[in-house]
A and B are shown apart, each in its own frame.
Chain A
Amino acid sequence: MSAEHWRSLGELEESPESRAFREREFPEGASEPPEGVTRRTVLTLLGASAGAASLVACRRPEEHIVPYVEAPEQIMPGVARHYATTMPNGTSAYGLVVESHEGRPTKLEGNELHPASLGASSARVQAAVLDLYDPDRSQQVLKRGEPSSWTDFVAAWKERAKLHAADGGETLAIVATPSAAPTLARQLAAFQKAYPKARVVGYAPVSEANALAGVARAAGRALLPVHHLDKAKAILAIDADVLHADPEMIRHTRGFAGGRRVVAPGDAMNRLWSVEAVFSITGANADHRLRLPARLIPGFVAALAAELQKGGLALEAVTAPELPGLDKTWLHALAEDLLANRGASVIVAGPRQPAAVHAAVVALNAALGNVPATVEYREPTDALLPSPAAFAELGSALRDGKVKTLVVLGANPAYDAPADLDWKGAAAKAEELVHFGSHVDETGALASWHVPSAHFLESWGDARARCGTLSVVQPLILPLYGAKSAVELVGLLASGEDRPGYDLVQATWRGLLGEADFEKRWNRVLHDGVLPDSAQPGVKLELKPGTLGELAAATGGAGELELVFQACAKLEAGGNANNAWLHELPDAITKVTWDNPLLVSPATAAAKGLKDEDMVRLDVAGRSLELPIQRVPGLADGTLVLYLGYGRTKAGRVGTGVGFDAFRLRTGAAPDLVTDFKLMRTGERYDISQTQDHGSMEGRKLIREATLAHYKDEPKFANEKTPLFSLWAEHEYKKSPQWGMVIDLNSCTGCNACAVACQSENNVPVVGKDQVRRGREMAWLRIDRYFTGEPSDPTAAFQPVPCMQCENAPCEQVCPVAATVHDAEGLNAMVYNRCIGTRYCSNNCPYKVRRFNFFNYTKDTPKVLKLLNNPDVTVRSRGVMEKCTYCVQRLSAAKIDARLGGRELKDGDARTACQQACPAEAIQFGDLVDLQSKVRKARENDRTYALLEDLNTRPRTTYQARLRNPHPTLAKAEPAGGEGPHA
C-alpha cells in the first residue's frame, strides 16, 4: 500500500496559482525590488556607487588596529570563550553555554550538564541572543515618560515605602511573571514580610494554571508535574504539544526520540497517541492522532477512563458522555496500549484543557502505575506560580481604588490581560504604576515609573529547572543600556536598599551551599552551570476522591464552531514579538511567516465559503477582530485556531503592527476556548507570506516512511536501487576527513531549533514579510513539511533540508566564474568574493537550497546588532549567492585545534550548529571515511537514502527513512506504509 505525500492544499488541488508558483525558479516578481524603490533608482544608485568605488580604489583604505588599554584577564582577541549561564523560562529554566567573542555573547548552546537542556536547545533559546542586542530595548528609567534615573527612582521608592510601611502594604501590589528562582523568591518573601498585607500575584496570559489547579484538585495541593517521556513506551498527549510548545520541550524531545531510535529491525519503538483540535508538532509526530474539538476533550478523557475501567483498571465510577464521531476501535486500542504498558506509559494534558481534565489525568496516571516512573509531582520550591484568580481579584481591587502602588515585573497586562477585565482602566486608578520591563511596551507607556529590565545575559540571578535542579544566571556582558535585574529591583522594594545583584545572589547561595568551602563550591557552580544533585524528587501522592466526576460537566456542547486561543510557539504570548528571527521562521505546520491568520480546517472553510487569505470578522461578546484565514489540513472540523502574541502596538520596530491582536477577544471567563461567537466574511483579501510552496520538488520520493512492522519484514524498504552510472570517471574521495551528514527523519520532530541555530551561527539575514512573499527568504536550512493521507485527516512529516554538498554538484557545473567549487573534503564551497550573481547555480540546484542576496539586507543593521555577528563568518552583501557550508568555520577550528593539540581529528570534534542544537539528536555529522564514526554507521544503516538519488548528484547529506509504530489492531485500517510514492 502506499501513501501520497503532498505539501499544500494548493498543490493537492492543482490550483493554477500553485502550479505557476512551483514552475518558476523564483516566484513572479522575485527580481523586482521591494516597494518604494523602483528598478530605475536602483540602477542609478548602482551607477553612482560604482563611480564612487572606482575613485576610492586608487588608494589603500586606512585601517586601524585598536588594542585594549589594559587587557582584561583571560580575554584573547580572536579566541571565543564559553561560559555557563541559565535562561529562566517561567517556572523552569534552560541551562546554557554561551559563546563570547571579546566580551560579546554571540551564540547560545545548551549545557550538557543541565537536565532541561541536555546540550541541546530550541528555536526560542537560539533566538534569545538576538533580544540582548535589540536596539528597541528601553534605555533609561522614565518618570511619566520623561527621562529620569535609577537614583531618582530609588529615592522616590524610599518615599513611597514610608507610606506603605504605615499601612502594612495594604495598598501595595506586585504583579510578576511566574518564576522559580531562589533569590527572587527570597526577595519576594522579604517583601511580603515587610509588607504583610501587600498582594504578590503571579501572572502570565498563558500558563500552567489549569494544570496546577487540576493537580491541586486531585492531590490536595498545587504540584508541578514532571514527565519522563524517555521511560514511557506509550505516550498519550491530550491537547498537549509536549514536543514543541512545552517549556520542557528539549527534555521531552530527547526522551521521545530516544524511545524511537531504531538501528536494526529488531529494535522497539515507543508509541505516541495524540488527541487534539489544533494540529501541533506533537500531533504530527503521533503514531495515532485523533482530531477532536477542544471542548469535547474532557468527554474523551471520561470515555477513556471508562474504557480503562472496562479493561480492568481500578478507577472510580465515571460516566462517559456520548461523543459524536469517536471511533470505538481507536479508543479500545489506546486503552489496551496503556494497560499493556502500566508503569511505562504516560498521559499528558495540555494547558488549554480545564482543571477537571488535569485532575483526571493525575488519577489515570496514578492508577496506571506511572507515578513516579514516568511522571512525578514536585513541590514547587522557590516558585511564584501563576494565579488567574488572584490577578482578577487584583483587577477589582484596583478598580475599587484599594491599590495605590502597583509594581509590574516583566508582565505586560495592558496588552495581554483578559479583555473583560478592562485592565488599563483599572490600572489608571493606581497612584503609582511602576513598570519593570525590557521595552517601553503597552504597559510601560501607562506607567508612572518605567525601569528597564536587564536581559538574562546581562544579569545575576538563579533558577530552578522543572525537576528542581538549581543553576545560576551568570552575566556575560554588563547591561548594554544600564538596565537592572529583577533581583535588584525586588531587593530594593523589599528592603529599601539598592544592592548589586551579585551580592544578593551570592547571599542566597551561601545559604544553599553552606559557608564551608563556599568560594570553591560557588565557583564550581558558576563553571559547570548547575549544582549537581539538586533535583528534587516527586512527592508521594494521596489522591482525593471524585477526580473523574467533573469531566462530564467540563465537556462542551454539540455546537458547530469553536474558537481556540493558542500561544504562538515562536512569539509565545507576545513576549518575543520584537524578535525578527522568530517572525521570519516559518510556523512548523502552516509555514506562515510574519503573521497569525485564523486557522481553519479545509472542510469548515468550504462550508463557510472561505478561501485562503480571505478576511473574516470574529465577533465575541461585543468585541470584534478582523483577520485573514488560512486553511490547515488536519484541524478538527469546526475548530478555529487563533494565535496569541501578535498585533502588538508597542513592541518595537520589528514587532509593532505585525499580525492581529487576539487578546482583544480573550476574556477571563473563557481564556482557552469560546463557542459563542460569530464568523463573517468581510469580502476583503489579505496577503500572507508562506514558505510552503517555495522550491517544491515536484512529487518525487522525498520522504520515505513505513511502519515498524513493515521495516522488520523489509529492512531496505527505503533503498531505491537506482542504477547509477556516470559519463566520466568520477573523483574519488578517500582522504580523511570526508564530511557527511545523516538526518534521521524518525527522530526529527520538526521543532525548528536547527533552523534558528543556523541563522545565529551563520549571520543569515532577515528579509521581512514582503521579501518572503517574493520567495527571497535566506534560510540556509529549511524544514519541509509534508502531509500524508486525506486532506481532512492527514499525518505530517518533517524534513530539514540543508545543502546536500553533492559530490557531483550541479551548481558547480554551471557557475561561469567558479565561485562554487568542490574541496578535497567533499564540501561544496561557496566563494562569495568570486560570485557575480548570475543565479545559474540556484537554477540548477535540484534541492533548491541556494539563497541569493537580492539586496544588501544588512546595510541598515543598527550598530548594536552588529555586535551579534559571528566574527568567523562573512557578512554577505547584495548580488551574492550563499548557502549552507556545513559550518565550515567550525570544521576549520576543529581541525586546527586537533592539529595544534598534537592529535588526530576524532569523531565529535567538529559539530555543525544544527547538529548541536537538535534536541532529538536527529542529525549526525562527521567523517565518512572513519569507519567508527557515528555518521558512517548511520549512513550504512538500512533506512538511509539520498534525496533525488536518481540524479546521480551523490549527496553527502542523506536521510534515514521515517518509521511509524501503529497499534496492531489499528494498523490494518491504516496505510501499512512502504515507500510512499508521491503525487
Chain B
Amino acid sequence: MAQIFPQSANRLPLVVALAALVLPPAVVGGVWYYGSPRFTDVGYQPVQPVPYSHKLHAGEMQIDCRYCHVSVEKSAVANVPPTQVCMNCHLLVARNAESLAPIRDSLKSGSPMRWLRVHKVGEYAYFNHRVHVGAGVGCVSCHGHVEEMDVVHQVEPLSMGWCLDCHRDPKPNLRPLSEITNMTWKPARDPEARERQIAGLRPVHPPTDCSGCHR
C-alpha cells in the first residue's frame, strides 16, 4: 500500500512554522506600508480637462498663487479660479490655443469647468486654509513645489498622522506672513536667525484634540 503522505510532507510542520513567523509580519507590514496614504495617495496625478501647467504659470511667469486662488487667506477653501480668471489673460495670450478650447467653451456656454480634485484631507475633517495661512504655514508645506509641476500631483500624504505631526510641533513649518506664497523661501539654518524669521508671528497653538477638526 502506497504511503498516504509523500515524504516531502515531513517538512510541512517546518513550512507552517516558518509561514506563521513570516506571514503575519508580512501582512501587517504590507497593510501598514501599502495601505497608508503615503503609498496610496502621494503621487496622485489625475489628468485634468485642460493641461494647465503650474510650472509655466507659477514657476516661469511667477504669477502669485493668490492671483487665482483668491480666497486662500479669507476662506476655509482655497478656491479654484472661475473660468473668467483664465480668460483675463487668454483673451490676449494664446487666444486660439487648441488646449484652451474647453476654457473658451466654458465661458461661451456658461457651463463650468470640472477640474479633478487632487488634494483632499480625510473625510469628516474640516480643514481651514485661512487659519493655516494666517498662522504662517506656506503653500509649499502641504502642496509641495507646485511651481515645478507640469501636472499637479500630491506630495504629502494629507493623513491624520501627518497633520498631527505638524500640529504637535508647528515651528519647522512656520514662515513670515510675507513669504507664504514664496515657493523658494528657505528657513534659516542658524537657530537664532530662524527665531528672528518667525518672531513676527502670533504664537501658534494648533489644536490636537478631535474637536479641532472633526465636528
Interface of A with B (CB < 8 Å)? 60, 62-71, 76-79, 821-825, 827, 829, 831-833, 872-874, 885, 888-889, 892, 896, 899-900, 902
Residue of B nearest to A886 (CB): B211
- Cβ B75 vs Cβ A79 within 8 A: yes
Q: Which of B11-19, B92-100, B121-129 binds A?
A: B121-129
- Cβ A67 vs Cβ B80 within 8 A: yes
CA distance A68 to B106 in the complex (A): 10
Minimum CB–CB distance from A894 to chain B (whole Å) comes to 12
Interchain residue pairs with CB less than 8 A apart (21): A64-B117, A65-B117, A66-B113, A66-B115, A67-B81, A68-B83, A69-B82, A69-B83, A71-B82, A77-B75, A823-B207, A823-B212, A832-B214, A833-B124, A874-B215, A885-B211, A888-B215, A896-B130, A896-B131, A899-B135, A902-B202
Minimum CB–CB distance from B206 to chain A (whole Å) comes to 11
- Cβ B211 vs Cβ A827 within 8 A: yes
Minimum CB–CB distance from A22 to chain B (whole Å) comes to 32
Number of contacting residues on B, CB 8 A? 45
Chain B, residues 23-45, CB within 8 Å of chain A (1/0): the string is 00000000000000000110010
Q: Is B6's beta carbon under 8 Å from chain A?
A: no
Minimum CB–CB distance from B92 to chain A (whole Å) comes to 18
Residue of A nearest to B68 (CB): A67
Q: Is B190's beta carbon under 8 Å from chain A?
A: no
CB contact between B75 and one of A64, A76, A821, A833 (< 8 Å): that residue:
A76
Residue of A nearest to B84 (CB): A70
- Cβ B82 vs Cβ A68 within 8 A: yes
- Cβ B124 vs Cβ A874 within 8 A: yes
**Majority secondary structure of chain A interface residues (helix, strand, loop or mixed):** loop
| Total A-B pairs, Cβ < 8 A | 123
- Cβ B75 vs Cβ A900 within 8 A: no
CA distance A7 to B215 in the complex (A): 33
- Cβ A78 vs Cβ B134 within 8 A: no
CA distance A825 to B212 in the complex (A): 10
- Cβ A62 vs Cβ B71 within 8 A: no
CB contact between A872 and one of B75, B126, B210 (< 8 Å): that residue:
B126
- Cβ A78 vs Cβ B77 within 8 A: yes
- Cβ B75 vs Cβ A78 within 8 A: yes
CA distance A301 to B181 in the complex (A): 76
Q: Known: A64-B115, A833-B123, A889-B126. Is A873-B75 also a contact (CB below 8 A)?
A: no
Contacts of B115 in A (CB 8 A): 64-67
CA distance A69 to B77 in the complex (A): 17
CA distance A112 to B106 in the complex (A): 43
CA distance A896 to B131 in the complex (A): 6
Q: Known: A78-B75, A78-B76, A823-B210. Is A60-B41 also a contact (CB below 8 A)?
A: yes
Within 8 A of A (CB), among B156-215: 202, 207, 209-212, 214-215
Q: Known: A66-B112, A66-B113. Is A824-B131 also a contact (CB below 8 A)?
A: no
Minimum CB–CB distance from B43 to chain A (whole Å) comes to 11
Residue of B nearest to A889 (CB): B215
Q: Is B65's beta carbon under 8 Å from chain A?
A: no
Q: Is B74's beta carbon under 8 Å from chain A?
A: yes
Contacts of B210 in A (CB 8 A): 821, 823, 829, 831
Contacts of B66 in A (CB 8 A): none
Minimum CB–CB distance from B83 to chain A (whole Å) comes to 5
- Cβ A899 vs Cβ B212 within 8 A: no
Minimum CB–CB distance from A179 to chain B (whole Å) comes to 38
Minimum CB–CB distance from B209 to chain A (whole Å) comes to 3
- Cβ A872 vs Cβ B80 within 8 A: no
- Cβ A60 vs Cβ B40 within 8 A: yes
| A-B contact sample (19 more), CB < 8 A, given A64-B116, A896-B128 | A60-B41, A60-B44, A63-B120, A64-B115, A66-B115, A67-B112, A70-B83, A71-B82, A71-B85, A76-B71, A76-B74, A76-B75, A76-B79, A78-B75, A823-B212, A833-B123, A896-B131, A899-B202, A902-B202
Q: Known: A79-B75, A892-B215. Is A900-B134 also a contact (CB below 8 A)?
A: yes
Minimum CB–CB distance from A64 to chain B (whole Å) comes to 5
Contacts of B211 in A (CB 8 A): 823, 825, 827, 829, 885, 888
Residue of A nearest to B134 (CB): A900
CA distance A104 to B78 in the complex (A): 19
Contacts of B83 in A (CB 8 A): 67-70
Minimum CB–CB distance from B139 to chain A (whole Å) comes to 17
Q: Is B142's beta carbon under 8 Å from chain A?
A: no
CA distance A65 to B81 in the complex (A): 10
Minimum CB–CB distance from B134 to chain A (whole Å) comes to 5
Minimum CB–CB distance from B32 to chain A (whole Å) comes to 17
- Cβ B215 vs Cβ A872 within 8 A: yes
Q: Which 5 A-B pairs have the closest CB atoms?
A: A823-B209, A78-B75, A829-B211, A78-B77, A63-B117
Q: Is B46's beta carbon under 8 Å from chain A?
A: yes
